[in-house]
Structure 1
Amino acid sequence: MSGKVRVLRVPAVVVALIALFLPALGGPAHAADGPVVKLSVTQAGAGGSVTVTGSGWRSHTLLMLLVCGRATPERGVIGGTNSCANGDGRAVTTDAQGAFSRKLPVAEPPVPCPCVVHVATVTGARAEADAVLQVAGHPVAPLPAEQSGGRLAILSDTRLTGSSGLLTWFGAPPSRTLVFTVGNTGAGAIKDPVFQVGSAHGVFAPQWDDRQWHGTLAPGRKAEVRLPVELSAGAHGDYIVSLKYDGRVLAEQPWGVGRPWGVTLFWILLCLVVPAALFRVGMAVVDRVRPRRPGAARLTRTLRLPQLPRLPLLSRTGGRGTEPPPTNPTLPWFAPDSVPGDPAGRLSAPHNDSPTSPTTPTTKGPT
């Protein structure tokens, strides 16, 4: 038995509608690459506000929102944060899905427009995104022309080399060397490029210093660059070292600076030594100006021998009596006795004339 196969013909309109609504029904969709920033309005005047929403960021990441001039999403912010209204910026932290929503006051940047809302990470790996914003009433000027010729690009991760010495432990300025490899991706040579190295603490904007690298970089060549980095005296905490060239931030490197405990130890010792010295000086002054009683002699410490107890002596009458007074009152108490009535003052040992003494002769009476 042979059967016929029936082919179901689907109209082309139905196929198009299925293809259109397939992503909404759970089909695969291509997400935008990198973080995305959107604004509630694209034009606002100074003093107003705009709601900034974002997605595609790292979860639980601190972001900074700024209104910047002389910037486009394609070329970024020319001049860095110096072209932004830093005083009216806002900070926000992304949620677990990497999204956020924050209201940002609209302020006039210090440079002319075109303007953008610039969103960038504060800590960790650098990520940024821009959204076009027209600030009503703010002047507009064309962007500077891009330089033709060489173009620098970072070819390796930046790193900080070096270590702190003993003087840094006592508050000397910490210093490191920023090492990175750059390549010339343009068509012309670059001679003696001038980089800008900045250090930022917390959410504050970095302070930029010019660092010139002496050398010529031909097209398609690369070179290792070493630039010194130095902080202020007594600096400690978490810092971010940024590298900028031609108005573009090329790299960022975190730097944890230890606390100068030597300074703390110095102040502790100073707080102990100074009061002790002032106390000694004050006691010396009091001893000098203290009034003294008239006729009072200054007491001095002398060495005195201990007084030994005197033993009682036997009296000449046979009874136990007290010691006879010495004949010479000037002699000390341990001087020997002298014989009473002896003109020569001869000395004799103590004796006892008691009749019961065994050394005393006895007289017999007549029988």
Structure 2
Amino acid sequence: MTGQAGPAALRRGGRRRTAALLAVLLPVLLPALLLLPATGAGAAGTKTVAADAKPVVTLSARQAGKGGGITVKGRGWRPNALLMMLICGRSTPDRGVIGGTNSCANADGRAVTTDAKGGFRKKLPVAEPPVPCPCVVHVATVTGERADADAVFVVAGHPTAPLPKEGTGGRLAVLATARLEGDSGILTWFGAPPARRLVLTVGNLGQAPVEDPVFEIGTAHGVFAPQWEERPWRGTIASGRKARIELPVELAAGAHGDYQISLRYGGKVLVEQPWGVGRPWGVTLFWVLLCLVVPAAVFRIGMAVVDKVRPRSARSPARSPRAPARAGRRRPRPAAATTNPPAGSADDPAATTAALPWFTPDSAPSGNRPTTKGQS
């Protein structure tokens, strides 16, 4: 009886201990089990939101006058990105900045760098843009992938004008990635203007054909605003069709560094393409050689002039190339004067030498006297 009751009692005791253990651990494990699916869904949701989030800009005040200041805050930007803040006229958040940065107060803009979370906070002075309002505070990236955001702002006392009407005809959009084609020749190495071709494919998304569109090519160096030039294209793009566009791009002579090429149509920027231009080292080489050759030529000319104008007596005596001067050879004595010295002087050669036996014809010896013809 006792042997049969022992195992049953042990089983009942084990069940009680298991139940007590579950009663203690259940309040701790149940919230963790409930949070696991929620945490996974939340992480996925956060990643989706982060991927689809757009940069946001908020202002400390919606209106201020010239000379004042506002605080601009942003979030959702790329971490450690360089941004430019501008007050722009003729702009709305829906249509963007019409006319590009030419409609903005570029001289009073401010640069800011986002933190590791993609946020920033910066004070911006209030300035009047060169065109009428409606105005916005325009924030855009300077380098890397393009991103921008606008916030409505009113410049107190600045004139206001209605925005230009949007065209109801064709609407062009870029269908493929634009690229710069072409190579630099040898003349570019010596300062010739660098040239390329901007090639892209555009499509007409409007209801009407686009005939002979006029594009604008902008070239920007560093953080400066682009300089726009018109580039007409001859042709017609029907509704729903696409076309290959090639536009020439040329920089100034001697240009070098990092440039940003932009394409604009109808007041909207369609393409932005970076372009790195090498330094024209041929120009540097030319100036180095010029600095060496010119001083040498001036020195030679100066020495030739000095040799011409100095007195003849100061020049070194000319030496015959056939009879070079030898070491230890005595120089010849100067030639004697052409005038005869007076007789009896120390310089007279007859006074210094022995007298010769000169004879006259009458006093000559008989043996040496000449005979005359006919005499015996």
Quote the RMSD (CA, aligned, Å). Answer: 2.3
Paired with 1:270 and 1:295, the residues of 2 have a C-alpha distance of 33
Q: Name the amino acid aligned to 1:175.
A: A
2:223 counterpart (195, 203, 213):
203
Say whether 1:76 aligns with 2:76. Answer: no
1:184-199 correspondence runs (5 A):
184-199=204-219
How far did residue 292 of structure 1 move?
3.5
What TM-score, normalized to structure 2? 0.72
Q: Aligned in 2, Cα 1:274/1:248: closer, same or farther, shift over 3 Å?
A: same
Counterpart of 2:279 in structure 1: which amino acid? R
Distance 1:294 1:202 in 2: 65
Q: From the superposition, tell whether residues 196 and 294 of structure 1 become closer, same or farther in structure 2 (CA, over 3 Å).
A: closer
| SS of equivalent residue, structure 2 residue 313 | coil
| Alpha-carbon offset, residue 84 of structure 1 | 0.7
Q: Does 1:124 align with 2:144?
A: yes
Percent identical: 68
Q: Equivalences for 1:1-367 in 2 at 5 Å?
A: 30=49, 33-293=53-313, 297-304=317-324
In 2: Cα distance, 1:202 partner to 1:192 partner: 32
In the TM superposition, what whole-angstrom CA distance separates every residue of 1:148-204 from its partner, at most 9, and x where no partner exists? Answer: 021111111110000000000100000000011111111111111110001111011
Give 3-state SS (helix, strand or coil) of 1:98's partner.
Answer: coil
TM-score, structure 1 as length reference: 0.73
> What is the CA deviation profile of residues 289-323 of structure 1, one whole-angstrom value per residue up to 9, with x for unaligned ones?
1124389843444435989xxxxxxxxxxxxxxxx
Q: Distance in 2 between matches of 1:304 and 1:52?
A: 92
Q: More helix per residue: 1 or 2?
A: 2
Tell me, in whole angstroms, the C-alpha distance in 2 between the residues paired with 1:211 and 1:131.
Answer: 32
User: How far apart, CA to CA, are the structure 1 residues paired with 2:299 and 2:276?
Assistant: 42
Q: For residues 244-297 of structure 1, give each alpha carbon's deviation from its aligned partner in whole angstroms, at most 9, with x where no partner exists.
A: 111111110000000111101111111111011000001001111112438984
What SS does structure 2 have at the residue aligned with 1:293?
helix
Unaligned runs of 5+ in 1: 1-21, 308-367
- Aligned-partner SS, 2:301: helix
Greater CA drift, 94-103 or 158-167: 94-103
Alpha-carbon distance in structure 1 between the residues aligned to 2:269 and 2:325: 90
Deviations 1:193-242 (A, max 9, x none): 11000111101111111001111111111111000000000000000001
